Amino acid sequence: MQSMLVSIIIPAFNEVAFLPEVIRRVEETPYDKEIIIVDDGSTDGTREYLNDMNAKDIKIILHKENMGKGAAFRSGLAVATGDVVIVQDADLEYDPKDYQVLLEPIIGGKADVVYGSRFLGGPHRVLFFWHSVGNSLITLLSNMLTDLNLTDMETGYKAFRRDVFRDIRIESNRFGFEPEITSKVAKKDFRIYEVPISYSGRSYQEGKKITWKDGIKAIFTVLRYNLFRR
């Protein structure tokens, strides 16, 4: 897979302040790639920026209204043609410089799915104790039901061989995407690796969107896809 094409899907909702830098960093990565940006109903100028960008080498999808990260990923996946798919959040919390460590198990033929863990020793900004506790509890619940030993199920950095999605359909529209995909790849017995990544979390003043309510929804999503859906 040394000559593989990487599809990089960037869901974006009200990220005009960060999106230009994210695009620059992604473009600088040394891979054959296609960049797919899904504007998820932004109202802060993100959509206008994308319309004015006129970048012929970037695929742009515009949602008429905000539908959520899962829906944005689903739209991007529908036009992706790469051998591998990476989810890249548009807020600079995750650095494209980590693509190398994220892709290495797939390139080496060891993995079908790779999770980039914020808790395996990579450098990270120090923020939000209770967020980390909530994340650990949700990951623990997911691990108990999937029989995986992940350290960071909710990570925003995941890479997949695209053929993983031949048998998997993403249904969750919002942040439930993370526990749903984890449940489904576990049930299909795909080879899953976890690697350390850096993480530069945002404060709420800087635009962080996920809240405790999303954590509660994540718990119900873990239960739904592991206990009640086959």
Residue 104: pLDDT above 80?
Answer: yes
User: Is residue 13 packed enough to be buried (19+ CB in 10 Å), middle (13-18) or exposed (0-12)?
Assistant: buried
- Decide if pLDDT at 2 tops 60: no
* 23/26 Cα distance (integer angstroms): 5
pLDDT tens sequence across 24-33: 999 999 999 9
What pLDDT does 220 receive? Answer: 84
Residue 53 lies in a domain: yes
C-alpha angle 218-221-225 in degrees, rounded to nearest 5:
145
Average pLDDT, stretch 58-67? 95
Q: Which one is predicted more confidently, 110 or 131? A: 110
For residue 155, what are the contacts with CB-CB under 8 A and spacing of at least 6?
115, 116, 117, 118, 178, 197
Taking the C-alpha atoms of residue 108 and residue 106, their distance in angstroms, rounded to an integer, is 5
CATH of the domain at 165: 3.90.550.10
pLDDT average, residue stretch 116-132: 72
Distance CA 111, CA 199 (A): 22
**Strands 158-161 and 84-87: what pairing?**
antiparallel
Instruction: Flag whether pLDDT at 170 surpasses 50.
Output: yes
Encode the chain in three state secondary structure. Answer: CCCCCEEEEEEECCCCCCHHHHHHHHHCCCCCEEEEEEEECCCCCHHHHHHHHCCCCEEEEEECCCCCHHHHHHHHHHHCCCCEEEECCCCCCCCHHHHHHHHHHHHCCCCCEEEEECCCCCCECCCCHHHHHHHHHHHHHHHHHHCCCCCCCCCCCEEEEHHHHHCCCCCCCCCCHHHHHHHHHHHCCCCEEEEECCECCCCHHHCCCCCHHHHHHHHHHHHHHHHHCC
Q: Are 222 and 142 in contact (CB under 8 A)?
A: yes
The percent of residues in the chain predicted with pLDDT above 70, rounded, is: 89
State yes or no: pLDDT of 144 exceeds 80: yes
Is residue 182 within 8 A of residue 151, CB to CB? The reply is no
Domains contained in the chain, number: 1
Specify the pLDDT at position 229: 65
Query: Quick one: pLDDT at residue 204?
Result: 47
Range 17-26 average pLDDT: 94
Average confidence (pLDDT) over 43-60: 89
Decide if 86 is inside a domain. yes
Identify the domain containing residue 221 by its residue range. Answer: 6-228
Q: What confidence score (pLDDT) does residue 210 get? A: 64
Q: What value does the mean pLDDT of the chain take? A: 88
Can you tell me the mean pLDDT for 63-89?
95
Please state, in angstroms and rounded to a whole number, the distance separating the CA atoms of residues 81 and 90: 21
Question: Average pLDDT in the 72-86 region?
Answer: 96
- Is residue 114 a part of any domain in this protein? yes
In a domain, 83, yes or no: yes
Whether 154 is in a domain gets the answer yes
Q: Comparing 92 with 204, which gets the higher pLDDT?
A: 92
1 in a structural domain: no
